[in-house]
Amino acid sequence: MSKKVNPALVGAFVLGALALSLAAVIIFGGGHFFRATERYVLYFDGSVKGLNVGAPVVFRGVQVGSVVQIRIEFDERDLSFRIPVMIEVQPDRFIRVCCDKDEVTQEMDVGTEEFIELMVERGLRAQLQLQSIVTGQLLVNIDLLPDRPPRLVDVPTRHPQLPTIPSPLEQWTRTIEELPLDEIVHKVVGVLDGLEKLVQSPDFGETLHDVRATLSDVQSLVRGMEQRLEGTDQELRATLDSARLLLTNLDRQLLPLAEVLGDAAQAGQSALDETRQTMTAIKETVAQDSSLRFQLESTLAEVAAAARSLRILSDFLERHPDALLRGKGGASR
């Protein structure tokens, strides 16, 4: 006879399993089931390839929610297809900050129509962006882009609708589609044909030969000019060094020479003064009407003039010793 199972033990086992399941949901689910969320619907114009359920929804790089549903709608009115994307946003990711604590403000929930209209007027837009280049996965980016025209679908929706804008990939695709590719390809082919004809023409080889010869002549000319300039540069430097040495020597010898000439002029002036005094004394002993007295007076006048010239020369050399090289005119300047 089998032993009867204790109902209390079975009940405890079931309760323990439920408790473990609830704990696992809380731990691994990050408390998602206990968070307040708001849902919005998005209509994208292009393909949503790469966007999967669970893809992140970010606002300027901060994850604020995730994609919870992607469906395909068929409109019988115009026989068109639409792809509504349902996203779920966590309001606790947004913190309201007031500038004045005493100011009475009305609390605004992110799920209200008032908040949505205000944000849309400010430029709230949703856009698909690449999440990973390797996997090609997409995410939904929400940002304030008032300069971009929004896209809204005029259909009744259960949840508030957020405006969307084309993704960068869609913009590039549209730009490429608008380019006149046939015309561009035709022009490129024409240019390539022209280059091929030019390269294969017999004149092209002769032109290359002439260009090479011209380049060789130019290189030879440049080398010759460099060699000449190097020799001229050396000669010019030697000449400048010699001139610098000559000027240094002249500068050293000029002042002593001027002093010697000044002393000689002063000595000559003294000798002339003594000669004039001697001749004056002789003139007084000679008769006034004699021819000797007349010759003495003429000689005294010449001696006086010579003395004045020597005095002027001595003063000038003291003030301008470089006149020995430049002359009187150069010294005066």
Q: Give the model confidence (pLDDT) of 180-233 as tens digits.
A: 777 888 788 888 877 777 767 777 677 777 788 888 888 888 877 777 666 676
Percent of the chain with pLDDT over 90: 10
Identify the domain boundary among 136, 163, 178: 178
Residue 159 maps to a domain: yes
Cβ neighbours, 10 Å, residue 275: 15
Residues 248 and 123 in one domain: no
Residue 214 maps to a domain: yes
Residues 122 and 88 in one domain: yes
Overall domain count for the chain:
3
Residue 94 maps to a domain: yes
| 102: its two tokens | 């005493």
Residues 142 and 110 in one domain: yes
Residues 169 and 195 in one domain: no
Show the domain range for 163: 38-178
| Highest mean pLDDT: which range of 27-36, 63-72, 226-235, 322-331 | 63-72
Residues 125 and 203 in one domain: no
Identify the domain boundary among 161, 178, 195: 178
Residues 55 and 172 in one domain: yes
- Cα separation values, 109 from 59, 65, 159, 292, Å: 17, 16, 15, 141
Residue 15 maps to a domain: no
What is the mean pLDDT of the segment spanning 41-54?
A: 88
| Rounded Cα gap, residues 187 and 178, in angstroms | 17
